[in-house]
């Protein structure tokens, strides 16, 4: 519907001027739409190990392949030595040299006893005693080897040094520092992939499933997308926040992402290709129904539509529009069916 204004000139004759509502329009396109849940989360290592001092002594940090002392951020292989504890306490705890000598002597005595028994030169009980002594010596030697191994701190997993040789207040320890049993010398974490702990709330809980595709972004790398998958759903909902914790496994081949980073995670559900889509701004509500205004020459026609998947920018139109039609995206507030309009550039 248009408005007619009457202007009065000096001649006394009136000229009718039609007012047309200025609007901006967009064409109904064809594209892909997704069911998305956008949430935030914090990254952490998939698994971490703490290397702890068992026997106090002098701390010596190992060196990497290039001969440089290991430092936080360095990558490690599984089975690589990170640090060694040396000193008198370690030596006394291990006593490897003494127990090895006893073990070798007991083995020699056992072999001699068996040889004499075979020649009928010693009774059988002498052989049994030699066997018992050998077993005890072997057990003691094995314990010494294990004690010696405990003084060498080896990572069981491949990963990155997250924390190394720091005291309880976070200050770095000097070379050759004395350390006590129970101190955590190193923390090693596997960082490819990483895990993002994401909280999902409300109706979105029903839209999340294990294996679901996830796209992860961080502000520091705004032009980079990191691929992920839902690896696990928490068995319970947090009683305070009512949120479901979702673990997202995030690929991190270049090591750009780090544990502790705050990221945005887009969980992707259903996806449809080649469907009519319109800007979200083209859709309004009139009388409880979703409608758009389609351009028809110099006026608009109101059209009810059925919507499908979409996001904040655009939405699928399942019924009511066809690709190529032009719909109003700005200036909808005063429109009605048949309103005369003037298409503007903004």
pLDDT at 27 over 90: yes
- Domains, the chain, in order of start with CATH, read 17-32+273-343 (2.40.420.20), 35-46+191-272 (2.40.30.170), 48-189 (2.40.50.100)
Determine the pLDDT at residue 7.
Answer: 47
- Return d(Cα 28, Cα 324) in angstroms, integer: 5
**Does residue 331 sit in helix, strand or coil?**
coil
Q: Mind listing the pLDDT tens digit for each residue in 214-257?
A: 999 999 998 899 999 999 999 999 999 999 999 999 999 998 99
Q: Mind listing the pLDDT tens digit for each residue in 250-275?
A: 999 998 999 999 999 999 988 888 99
Determine the pLDDT at residue 89.
Answer: 52
Determine the pLDDT at residue 163.
Answer: 93
CA distances from 215 to 25, 29, 226 (A): 32, 25, 6
* The model scores a pTM over 0.85: no
| Phi and psi at residue 126, to the nearest 5° | -65, -35
**b vs e for 166-185, b when ≥16 Cβ sit within 10 Å of the residue's Cβ?**
beeeeeebeeeeebeeebeb
């Amino acid at each position: 519907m248009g408005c007619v204004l009457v202007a009065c000139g000096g001649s006394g004759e009136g000229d009718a001027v039609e007012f047309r509502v200025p609007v901006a329009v967009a064409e109904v396109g064809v594209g892909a739409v997704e069911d998305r849940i956008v949430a935030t989360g914090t990254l952490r290592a998939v698994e971490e190990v703490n290397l702890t001092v068992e026997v106090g002594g002098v701390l010596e940090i190992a060196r990497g392949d290039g001969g440089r002392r290991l430092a936080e951020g360095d990558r490690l292989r599984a089975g690589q030595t990170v640090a060694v504890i040396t000193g008198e306490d370690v030596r006394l705890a291990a006593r490897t040299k003494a127990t090895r000598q006893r073990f070798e002597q007991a083995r020699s005595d056992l072999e001699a006893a068996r040889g004499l028994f075979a020649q009928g030169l010693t009774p059988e009980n002498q052989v049994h005693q030699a066997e018992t002594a050998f077993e005890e010596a072997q057990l003691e030697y094995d314990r010494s080897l294990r004690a010696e191994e405990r003084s060498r701190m080896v990572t069981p997993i491949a990963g990155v040094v997250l924390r190394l040789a720091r005291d309880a207040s976070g200050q770095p320890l000097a070379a050759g520092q004395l350390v006590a049993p129970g101190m955590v010398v190193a923390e090693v974490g596997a960082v490819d992939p990483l895990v993002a702990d994401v909280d999902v709330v409300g109706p979105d809980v029903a839209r999340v499933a294990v294996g679901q595709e996830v796209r992860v972004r961080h502000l520091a790398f705004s032009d980079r997308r990191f691929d992920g998958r839902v690896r696990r759903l928490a068995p319970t909902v947090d009683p305070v926040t009512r949120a479901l914790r979702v673990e997202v496994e995030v690929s991190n081949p270049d090591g750009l992402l780090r544990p502790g980073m705050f990221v945005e995670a887009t969980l992707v559900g259903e996806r449809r290709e080649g469907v009519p889509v319109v800007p979200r701004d083209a859709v309004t509500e009139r009388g409880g129904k979703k409608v758009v205004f389609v351009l028809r020459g110099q006026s608009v026609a109101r059209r009810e539509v059925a919507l499908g998947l979409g996001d904040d920018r655009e939405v699928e139109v399942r019924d009511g529009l066809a690709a190529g039609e032009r719909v109003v995206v700005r200036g909808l507030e005063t429109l009605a069916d048949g309103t005369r309009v003037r298409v503007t550039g903004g």
